[in-house]
Amino acid sequence: MSSDSAPEVFDITFVGAGPTGLFGAFYAGLREMSVKIIDALPQAGGQLIALYPEKMIYDSPGFPGIVSKDLVTNLVTQAGQWNPIYALGQRALNLTRRSLPGGPAEAQCWEIETDKEKHLTRTVMLSAGIGAFQPVTLKEGGADRFEGKGVVYMARDLNEYAGRNVLIVGGGDSAVDWALALESIAAHVTLIHRREGFRAHDSSVNALKASSVDVRIFYELREIQGDDRVERAVIFDNRTQEDTVLLVDDLILALGFKADLGPIREWGLETIGRRYIKVNQRMETNLPAVFAAGDIALQEDQDPLNLIVIGFGQVTVAVNYAYTLIKPGGKVFPGHSSEKMAGKAVPR
């Protein structure tokens, strides 16, 4: 915010530029609200861009299948019709209630302080996905020695693995998705998992079983070998302790992520466990004019459903209730998008 002019106060500010935040920004624009989007990452997209940009998404409405980065591109284009203001590469640190500049004494707004500047907003939408996240790392077996030299925790560009021998360690969605995505690109893909059951979607596991991926259950990584970069991996059967040496060019250690709310935890929000902000059916938190939607939000007595489509629905509910705070007397129901978009050139 500039010190020599009145700071702009936005109607709604999204903390988190993942799919939930981007779709929410579109919907807020549809309701003629001024929108700002803050995210710690240097580009929009959240986990889809940071963790698995090449992953196929099969449960986004209207797309039988779409690559993560393409879904993000579409969401950015959709939100961009209303010209939201982005504040990327900024980590939200503090949230403070303060008087609305130029308004009556009782009028309040929120100040979001990041590591770079301060932002004023009438309502806040917490759409920060799983919050701050870091991959679960492996120090044993030489993994730390070969980081960046054939060992990665978050694979990004499929083309980097063309014609190479790839070993993937893990049994969750990321491990299975990467194995399937690389099947037709890499020379050979091996996936090892320490137990029989996978934590991935059933349809993905079935596709893995039908694929040419060399799947070895009850196997773990013992040692990574090589000179300047990865050349071999020693794996072992955890039932017999018998070793097997594989010639590999690259290892993807898809061991999961540690998620935490980070600074958001200190904002006075009521939480459920370490990962979730408690919300009601309107997606309101315990703080006035502060909403939450997507993976970060959870209603009491409900199990988490961390799906993109759930985030889309939740943020739509939240934005429409936030609108009634911006426009007292305004209706929650927004009308149909065909009416709101009449006369506007829609990207195709």
What's the pLDDT band for 130 if we cut at 50, 70, 90?
confident
pLDDT tens-digit map of 142-173 = 899 999 999 998 777 888 999 999 999 999 88
Taking residues 89-108, what's their average pLDDT? 89
| Extents of the domains making up the chain | 9-132+258-340, 137-255
Please name which of 110, 104, 154 lies closest in space to residue 12, comparing C-alpha atoms: 110
Domains 9-132+258-340 and 137-255 share a fold: yes
For residue 179, give both structure tokens: 């194995």
- How many angstroms separate the Cα of 170 from the Cα of each of 187, 190, 311? 20, 11, 26
Q: Which CATH architecture has domain 137-255?
A: 3-Layer(bba) Sandwich (3.50)
pLDDT at residue 5, rounded to an integer? 64
Instruction: Check residue 84 and report its DSSP letter.
Output: P
pLDDT at residue 348, rounded to an integer? 61
pLDDT tens-digit map of 300-332 = 989 999 999 999 999 999 999 999 999 989 999
- How many angstroms separate the Cα of 10 from the Cα of each of 13, 71, 100, 117, 293? 7, 26, 11, 15, 19
Give the residue with greater pLDDT, 319 vs 259.
Answer: 319
Superfamily of the domain at 9-132+258-340: FAD/NAD(P)-binding domain (3.50.50.60)
